[in-house]
Chain A
Amino acid sequence: MSGSGTDRKRVVVTGIGVVSPLAVGAELTWKRLINSQSGIGPITQFDASGLPARIAGEVPAGSTEEGGLTLSDWVPVKEQKKMDRFIHLGLAAGIQAVEDSGWKPESEEDRCATGVMIGSGIGGLKTIYDNSLAVAAGKARRLSPFFIPSSLINLTAGHLSIRYGFKGPNHAVVTACASGTHAIGDASRLIQHGDAKVMIAGGAESAICELGIAGFCSARALSTGFNEDPTKASRPWDKERDGFVMGEGAGVVVLEEYEHAKRRGAKIYGEIGGYGLSGDAYHITAPAENHEGAYRAMQAALKDAQVDPADIGYVNAHGTSTMADDLELGAVERLFGDAAFGTSMSSTKSAIGHLLGAAGAVEAIFCLQAMRDGILPPTLNLDEPSSESVMDRIPHKAKEKQVDIALSNSFGFGGTNASLILKRFKD
């Protein structure tokens, strides 16, 4: 069970936290996800009427009890203005995960053995935009002293460490839409390597601002044909798909060295089975031919986990609702060979949109919940696939199926690929 090395440390997940367009809260998000609800709607954070894409997956406002974002429940009012929204969302997910894990280091040794690695694809884009406007208006000398620290990507990790006194490795991954997956994979390696016993890991993103939406529109990446019917816009593998839908949110897990978790009697959600990475060396935004970089990342993860494709019961696809969906499907089918027949694969981006640097972390949590509950989340809006497959892509409705091992994929601009293998926990 210990992976490739005979004495490699096992890494388990002992806490989860999610902030998503479906809800603030890991369990409420999951409940709504498997109930085929969509978190996509018209953009409310700014006036998007002049842009070709006018919909997004925004984190709902409202009371914490009902799964809405009441920021003062997570971040003291005085501190809020010192952080961009992506940090607010990251903290809300991070606090959930830490509290869920019950881990409270009390000795200096324990504090130093607890680290944080929370990434983001873009960081504080709206804060940068607002301050740029101030500079353009001649107010360069009146910028807030909090402008820089509220925009920096690693400040989610910074704030979380300050709040809890976590003095171990403090790090942040920036690999565009693969950031969340890389963060969990890299943080696991830090535990395996002995740099930490506990790592709080994941991703946070909030780029639903004019600059973010307009920029992705210019890159021709966003769906523009479903502005009047937002819940239909994110439709991975469907023939009518026309781009991804921007989402925002955060996913954070508490990773823990198995013996450490066992000693303190922690609840265990699952195990990080393996991790694989690759680069395309091809194009800044388009995936390599046949998604061969994705193929190699998945292959590396399988090797790291010492499992065969036939052992994988569920794949959470990157599946952004773009042309690349079919390339990913092809890469999975080639890698799995005969094992692809009947294997389940879905894209949960169909319900929450693309959370960019938070996507992989939220999706890894979905894999853990799916294995825990024996329910696989659906691919919404998959009415008519653009290409046939021997795989089961779980259209429209969640599916009951007990799975022991899941694979989660994330790919980012720049040609960066990451795959995680997650296992249902067995002693």
Chain B
Amino acid sequence: MSNEIADKVKKIVVEHLGVDADQVKPDASFIDDLGADSLDTVELVMAFEEAFSVEIPEDAAEKIATVNDAIEYITKQKAA
């Protein structure tokens, strides 16, 4: 399950930020490493919500800074 989530997260990041798949490492920061700006990250979180049918409240979204942050948060939500 978690591998599936990780793959899907990576795919969304590649699509939305226009980066190469091999750049999307677990500890890659959306803003510092993948060239996103603050609006890109808002859009990215919306795409995660849509793809995984989860709600990511604003205070939680603010803490999702890296690829791994996103995978962990979504995995936890799906497990709950």
Seen from chain A, the residues whose Cβ lies within 8 Å of a Cβ on chain B are: 76-78, 82, 142, 144-146, 149
B52-79 near A? 1/0 per residue, CB < 8 Å: 0000000000000000000000000000
Q: Measured between alpha carbons, how far is A333 from B17 in the docked complex, in Å?
A: 57
Which residue of the partner chain, among B42, B49, B50, contacts A145 with CB atoms under 8 Å? B42
Specify which chain B residues have a CB less than 8 angstroms from the CB of A82 in the assembled complex: 39
Which residue of the partner chain, among A76, A77, A146, contacts B43 with CB atoms under 8 Å? A146
- Does B46 have its Cβ within 8 Å of any Cβ on chain A? yes
* B18 and A145 within 8 A (CB): no
Give min CB distance, A71 to chain B, whole Å.
14
* B17 and A142 within 8 A (CB): no
Q: Measured between alpha carbons, how far is A145 from B42 in the docked complex, in Å?
A: 7
Selected A-B contacts with CB under 8 Å, 17 pairs? A76-B18, A77-B18, A78-B17, A78-B18, A82-B39, A142-B46, A142-B49, A142-B50, A144-B43, A144-B46, A145-B39, A145-B42, A145-B43, A145-B46, A146-B39, A146-B43, A149-B39
Q: What number of residue pairs across chains A and B have CB atoms under 8 A from each other?
A: 17
Q: Which of A78, A144, A149 has the most CB of B within 10 A?
A: A78
B27-60 near A? 1/0 per residue, CB < 8 Å: 0000000000001001100100110000000000
Specify which chain B residues have a CB less than 8 angstroms from the CB of A144 in the assembled complex: 43, 46
Q: Which residue of B lies closest to A148 (CB)?
A: B39
Q: Measured between alpha carbons, how far is A76 from B17 in the docked complex, in Å?
A: 11
Specify which chain B residues have a CB less than 8 angstroms from the CB of A145 in the assembled complex: 39, 42-43, 46
Mostly helix, strand, loop or mixed at chain A's interface? Answer: loop
Give min CB distance, A93 to chain B, whole Å.
24
Give min CB distance, B41 to chain A, whole Å.
9
Specify which chain A residues have a CB less than 8 angstroms from the CB of B17 in the assembled complex: 78
Give min CB distance, A73 to chain B, whole Å.
16
Give min CB distance, A75 to chain B, whole Å.
12
Specify which chain A residues have a CB less than 8 angstroms from the CB of B18 in the assembled complex: 76-78
Give min CB distance, B25 to chain A, whole Å.
19
Seen from chain B, the residues whose Cβ lies within 8 Å of a Cβ on chain A are: 17-18, 39, 42-43, 46, 49-50
Specify which chain B residues have a CB less than 8 angstroms from the CB of A146 in the assembled complex: 39, 43
Specify which chain A residues have a CB less than 8 angstroms from the CB of B46 in the assembled complex: 142, 144-145
Specify which chain A residues have a CB less than 8 angstroms from the CB of B43 in the assembled complex: 144-146
Q: Measured between alpha carbons, how far is A78 from B16 in the docked complex, in Å?
A: 7
Q: Measured between alpha carbons, how far is A145 from B40 in the docked complex, in Å?
A: 8
Specify which chain B residues have a CB less than 8 angstroms from the CB of A142 in the assembled complex: 46, 49-50
Q: Which residue of A lies closest to B38 (CB)?
A: A145
Q: Which residue of B lies closest to A146 (CB)?
A: B39
Specify which chain B residues have a CB less than 8 angstroms from the CB of A78 in the assembled complex: 17-18
Q: Which residue of A lies closest to B49 (CB)?
A: A142
Specify which chain A residues have a CB less than 8 angstroms from the CB of B50 in the assembled complex: 142
Known: A142-B50, A145-B42. 15 other contacts (CB 8 A): A76-B18, A77-B18, A78-B17, A78-B18, A82-B39, A142-B46, A142-B49, A144-B43, A144-B46, A145-B39, A145-B43, A145-B46, A146-B39, A146-B43, A149-B39
Q: Which residue of A lies closest to B15 (CB)?
A: A78
Q: Measured between alpha carbons, how far is A288 from B43 in the docked complex, in Å?
A: 48
Q: Which residue of B lies closest to A82 (CB)?
A: B39
Q: Measured between alpha carbons, how far is A146 from B50 in the docked complex, in Å?
A: 17
Q: Measured between alpha carbons, how far is A149 from B18 in the docked complex, in Å?
A: 19
Q: Which residue of A lies closest to B35 (CB)?
A: A78
Q: Measured between alpha carbons, how far is A156 from B18 in the docked complex, in Å?
A: 22
Specify which chain B residues have a CB less than 8 angstroms from the CB of A76 in the assembled complex: 18
Give min CB distance, A78 to chain B, whole Å.
3
Q: Measured between alpha carbons, how far is A169 from B21 in the docked complex, in Å?
A: 40
Give min CB distance, A393 to chain B, whole Å.
50
Q: Which residue of B lies closest to A144 (CB)?
A: B43
Give min CB distance, A413 to chain B, whole Å.
33
Q: Measured between alpha carbons, how far is A82 from B42 in the docked complex, in Å?
A: 13
Give min CB distance, A338 to chain B, whole Å.
60
Q: Measured between alpha carbons, how far is A149 from B50 in the docked complex, in Å?
A: 22
Give min CB distance, B30 to chain A, whole Å.
13
Give min CB distance, A371 to chain B, whole Å.
43
Q: Which residue of A lies closest to B16 (CB)?
A: A78
Q: Which residue of B lies closest to A143 (CB)?
A: B46
Specify which chain A residues have a CB less than 8 angstroms from the CB of B42 in the assembled complex: 145
Give min CB distance, A149 to chain B, whole Å.
8
Q: Measured between alpha carbons, how far is A144 from B41 in the docked complex, in Å?
A: 11
Q: Measured between alpha carbons, how far is A82 from B39 in the docked complex, in Å?
A: 10
Q: Which residue of B lies closest to A76 (CB)?
A: B18
Q: Which of A82, A142, A145 has the most CB of B within 10 A?
A: A145
Q: Which residue of B lies closest to A77 (CB)?
A: B18
Q: Measured between alpha carbons, how far is A149 from B37 in the docked complex, in Å?
A: 14
Q: Measured between alpha carbons, how far is A94 from B46 in the docked complex, in Å?
A: 32
